[in-house]
Amino acid sequence: MRLRLPSKGWRMHIGKACWFLMKTELISANDEHCKEAVKAAVALLAAGEVVALPTETVYGLAGNAFDAAAVAKIFAAKERPSFDPLIVHIGRKADLARVALVPEDIQTLVEKLTNAFWPGPLTLVLPRHPDIPDLVTSGLETVAVRQSANKIFSAVVKELGQPLAAPSANRFGRISPTSATAVWDELQERIPLIVDGGACSQGLESTIIRMEAGEKRPTITILRPGPITKEMLQNFGKVERWKPRRDADAPAAPGMLESHYAPRTPLYLLGSPADFRPEPGKTYALMSYAGEGPFVEMHAWKAVEPLSPGNGKLPEAALRLFHIMRKLDACGADAIIVEPVSEVGLGVAIMDRLRRASTAVWRWAWFCRIPFAKRGFFF
C-alpha cells in the first residue's frame, strides 16, 4: 500500500486507504499462556504488523513507533485522521531519551513525575526525538509518551526492544475498548492479532500533561484528564486545565478532539432530571451513577445501567464507563440519557469523556425543544 501524506494541513483520513480483509486471531494471555501470547505479538510487531494489546487504561492498537509503515497500518485499521497524533509507549524509563528530548529546565520535574507515576496512566508531552516519524506526531514538534503498567504490554514492548505507538484499539471516534471482546467487535478482519489480557484495571485513557518551568513552581497543564488527577499532580507544581482554542487547526495531543468516545446511539448528558423532555414514541435508556434516585424514577426506561451500583464510587464508575456505554448502545433504545457525576477527582475525567461522547449541541437543543440560550449545556 502506497501512502501519500498531505503536504498541507495534515487533513487526509489515512483510513480511507484500502486494506485487505484478514483473519484475526484472538489469543489468551492468561498465566498459563502469557509467554506464548507475548511471543506471538512480538513476532508480528517485528514483521511490521499491528497488534491489539491490553494496557491498564484501555486496549491499545500497537505498532513499532519507529516504523512509519506500521504506524500507517494503525491509522488505516482505525480509520483515524492523520492530524490526530498517537501516544508512544516505552518499556523502560531509560527509553524516554530514544523518543523525546527533555528540556533542561523541566528535567527535574520530569524525573519526579516519572518516579511517582511510571509505569502508570500518565502521558507526558515533550519535544520529539528526530527519529520519531512525522506520522506518529501528526507533524507536531512534540511527542506524547508513557510507560504502561500492564504486565502483558510491558513484556511485549521490552522483548521487542522498540517503543510502540498505541492509540485505543477501536475505530476512530467510537467507544474505547476495555476488553478483548470489544476490540474484536471493532477491528476483526482489520488486524492480525488481539491479545486477550482480561478487563482493563483503570477503564479510562491516561492523563496527558504538558510542563513548563516557572519562577517559583513549574506549571503542569492537563491536556486530557484521566486516572492521574489534578489533586495527585498538585504536589509537583501549579496545575492548570487546558483551555481549547476555537481556531486551532489540529489537536495539540492525542484524545483532544471535541467529538470522541461516541456510541452509535445518540447520547445526551443532562444537568438535572428537569432537563429531560422525552419525545412521544421514542424509547430511552439511562446511564445512572448509582442505579437509584430521581433520574431512575422519573421515566419508564428501556434499560438502566449504573456506573457504580449502589455505592456511587468514582473509581468504579470510571472502570465501568465504556463497558456500560457499549451495553446501552446495544440495548435498542432510540437515545441514551446520562446522569452527570460530581466533577471532583476522577469525576473530571468521566465527565470529559461523556461530553465528548454526547450528541452535538444543536441536536440536543432540538431534542429538548427549548431555546438554546436557556439551556445549561455542558461544554
Residues of the domain holding 63: 14-196
Assign residue 334 the CATH number of its domain.
3.40.50.11030
Is 111 a member of any domain? yes
Residues 169, 56 share a domain: yes
Spatial contact of 136 and 86, defined as CB atoms under 8 Å apart:
yes
Is 212 a member of any domain? no
Residues contacting residue 190 through CB under 8 Å, at least 6 positions apart: 19, 21, 22, 24, 77
Tell me how far apart the alpha carbons of residues 227 and 122 are, in angstroms, rounded to a whole number: 8
All 3 cell numbers of residue 63? 505498532
What does each C-alpha distance from 165 to 56, 68, 72, 83, 333 come to in angstroms?
16, 10, 11, 15, 36
For residue 239, list its beta bridge partners: 220
- Considering its fold, how many domains does the chain have in total? 2
> pLDDT (tens digit, 0 to 9) for every residue of the chain, 379 residues total?
333 333 333 333 444 444 457 899 999 998 888 999 999 999 999 999 999 999 999 999 999 999 999 999 999 999 999 999 999 999 999 999 999 999 999 999 999 999 999 999 999 999 999 999 999 999 999 999 999 999 999 999 999 999 999 999 999 989 999 999 999 999 999 999 999 999 999 999 999 999 999 888 999 999 999 999 999 999 999 999 988 665 555 666 776 666 678 899 999 999 999 999 999 999 999 999 999 999 999 999 999 999 999 777 999 999 999 999 999 999 999 999 999 999 999 999 999 999 999 964 334 343 444 333 333 322 2
Is 342 a member of any domain? yes
Residues 289, 142 share a domain: no
Residues 190, 63 share a domain: yes
Per-residue confidence (pLDDT) for residue 243, from 0 to 100: 80
Tell me how far apart the alpha carbons of residues 204 and 114 are, in angstroms, rounded to a whole number: 19
Residues 169, 314 share a domain: no
For residue 52, list its beta bridge partners: 61, 194
Listed residue (318, 124, 314) closest to 222, CA to CA: 124
Within a 13 Å sphere around the CA of 178, how many CA atoms are in the beta-carbon half? 21
Spatial contact of 200 and 54, defined as CB atoms under 8 Å apart:
yes
Tell me how far apart the alpha carbons of residues 54 and 256 are, in angstroms, rounded to a whole number: 22
Kindly give the pairing relationship between strand 25-28 and strand 87-89. unpaired
The answer, as to whether pTM is greater than 0.75, is yes
Phi-psi region of 326 (alpha: psi -120 to 50; beta: other; left: phi over 0): alpha
Is 362 a member of any domain? yes
Residues 273, 178 share a domain: no
Among 196, 229, 251, the domain-final residue is 196
Spatial contact of 26 and 52, defined as CB atoms under 8 Å apart:
no
Spatial contact of 254 and 85, defined as CB atoms under 8 Å apart:
yes
Assign residue 125 the CATH number of its domain.
3.90.870.10
All 3 cell numbers of residue 366? 432540538
Per-residue confidence (pLDDT) for residue 15, from 0 to 100: 42
Is 317 a member of any domain? yes
Residue carrying C-alpha cell 443532562: 270
Per-residue confidence (pLDDT) for residue 315, from 0 to 100: 95
All 3 cell numbers of residue 363? 441536536
At what angle are helices 314-329 and 180-187 packed, to 10 degrees? 40
Residue carrying C-alpha cell 500500500: 1
CA dihedral 176, 178, 179, 185 (to 10 degrees): -10
Phi-psi region of 83 (alpha: psi -120 to 50; beta: other; left: phi over 0): alpha
Per-residue confidence (pLDDT) for residue 245, from 0 to 100: 63
Q: What would the DSSP string read from start to end of 47-96? A: TT--EEE--SSS-EEEEETT-HHHHHHHHHHHT-BTTS--EEE-SSGGGH
Spatial contact of 27 and 36, defined as CB atoms under 8 Å apart:
yes
Residues 325, 187 share a domain: no
Other beta carbons within 10 Å of 156: 27
For the beta sheet containing 193-196, the strands, ordered from the edge strand earlier in sequence to the opposite edge, are: 25-28, 193-196, 51-53, 60-64, 164-165, 87-89, 142-146, 122-127, 207-212, 219-224, 238-241
Is 241 a member of any domain? no
Is 350 a member of any domain? yes
Among 196, 228, 256, the domain-final residue is 196
Residues 288, 191 share a domain: no
Residues 168, 31 share a domain: yes
Among 196, 212, 241, the domain-final residue is 196
Is 203 a member of any domain? no
Residues contacting residue 72 through CB under 8 Å, at least 6 positions apart: 1, 3, 14, 17, 135
